[in-house]
Amino acid sequence: MTDIRNIVILTGAGISAESGLRTFRADDGLWEDHPVEQVATPQGFRRDPDLVQRFYDERRAQVRAANPNAAHLALGRLDMGWKRGDLLIVTQNIDDLHERGGAARVLHMHGEALSAWCTNCDARHRWTGTLRNNPPCPSCGMASLRPDIVWFGEMPYRMERIYRAIAGCDLFVSIGTSGAVYPAAGFVQEAGRAGARTLELNLEESLGSRVFSETRLGKASEIVPAWVEEMLAG
Ligand code: NAD
Ligand code: APR
């Protein structure tokens, strides 16, 4: 790994599973008892805003009650210790466990549970309480706050920044994602086209496993720290 300079790391729900946050497509996944159309689409929000606000109130409370696990802490050490080039963690997760695990260079492409977005003035505010009682936006005073989450059918955040980082990386690492949802599921192909090595760290084979140069299977809390120690020792 000595020729590695610039690293892009994509993370999904699997990295936070051992912190007690449910993933989406396991047998007990979130989408089993919360139909996506009802709670994770703009149409669902228009149809029943209170149901959607309750769903994300629940996510917000669970994120606040969770703690970073050994995988988040290891990536925090890597972010602080990687001096040979750039490093960017692109997460599909809406929790703040990367940041609480010590990472600073984190980009949330699907938004954040602890953020509220005003559809009137476009301001974003850190939000830890409920949104069910239609609180006024701290910036414009209008009752037009929604969860700052990218729903199905909406455009993920900061895509230009992400593609630029992938185009310039030597190593692309995917951790804890099923590879079921685009555009994140296509990042590994982009990285391959840019000539980067690609490594998958996941509990089980994913939809993209055959595309990666290397796949290591195991629990994130075990295989991520082992990989980080390799990188920092290299
Ligand atoms: P998409 O249409 O590419 O999603 C396709 C995939 O999403 C499917 O392969 C399936 O895995 C999943 N999906 C879609 N509909 C589903 C359903 N009814 N039940 C279960 N799974 C379903 O995604 P999109 O519409 O282009 O969404 C744009 C972006 O928004 C994507 O990156 C997506 O990941 C993101 N998103 C975020 C959240 C969130 O809560 N953070 C929720 C939904 C979507
Ligand atoms: N360690 C490593 N990987 C794990 C662990 C673990 N302890 N537990 C689960 N996994 C893996 C599963 O094997 C699975 O491949 O994490 C992956 C979780 O996949 P999903 O539940 O599909 O979650 P994710 O890939 O993040 O979903 C992508 O879809 O619904 C949208 O926006 C939502 O961000 C989400 C996106």
Query: Do residues 77 and 102 lie in contact, with contact meaning Cβ atoms separated by under 8 Å?
Result: yes
* pLDDT tens-digit profile, the chain (234 residues): 568 999 999 999 999 999 999 888 888 887 777 888 999 999 999 999 999 999 999 999 999 999 999 999 999 999 999 999 999 999 999 999 999 999 999 999 999 999 999 999 999 999 999 999 999 999 999 999 999 999 999 999 999 999 999 999 999 999 999 999 999 999 999 999 999 999 999 999 998 999 999 999 999 999 999 999 999 998
3 state SS of 178: coil
Pairing state between β 124-126 and 111-118 = antiparallel
H or E element at residue 174: strand 171-175
Write down the pLDDT at residue 33. 79
Q: Residue 125: phi, psi to the nearest 5?
A: -130, 140
Write down the pLDDT at residue 20. 96
Atom of ligand 2 nearest to the CA of 219: 1
Write down the pLDDT at residue 55. 94
Write down the pLDDT at residue 150. 97
CATH homologous superfamily of 1-21+68-110+156-233: TPP-binding domain (3.40.50.1220)
Q: Residue 188: phi, psi to the nearest 5?
A: -65, -35
Write down the pLDDT at residue 1. 58
Q: Report ipTM for this prediction.
A: 0.77
Token pair belonging to 211:
């595309």
Burial class (CB in 10 A: 0-12, 13-18, 19+), 216: middle
* Amino acid identity at 209: S
Q: Residue 222: phi, psi to the nearest 5?
A: -105, -50
- Prediction pTM value: 0.88
What is the CA(82)–ligand 1 centre distance, in A? 32
Query: Do residues 13 and 24 lie in contact, with contact meaning Cβ atoms separated by under 8 Å?
Result: yes
Fold entry, domain 23-65+116-149:
SIR2/SIRT2 'Small Domain' (3.30.1600)
- Domains of the chain by residue range: 1-21+68-110+156-233, 23-65+116-149
Pocket of ligand 2 (CB under 6 A): 12-14, 17-18, 23-26, 29, 92, 110, 176-178, 180-181, 202-204, 206, 219-220
Atom of ligand 1 nearest to the CA of 93: 41
What is the CA(58)–ligand 1 centre distance, in A? 19
Please state the residue numbers annotated as binding site. 12-31, 56, 59, 92-95, 118, 121, 137, 140, 176-178, 202-204, 220
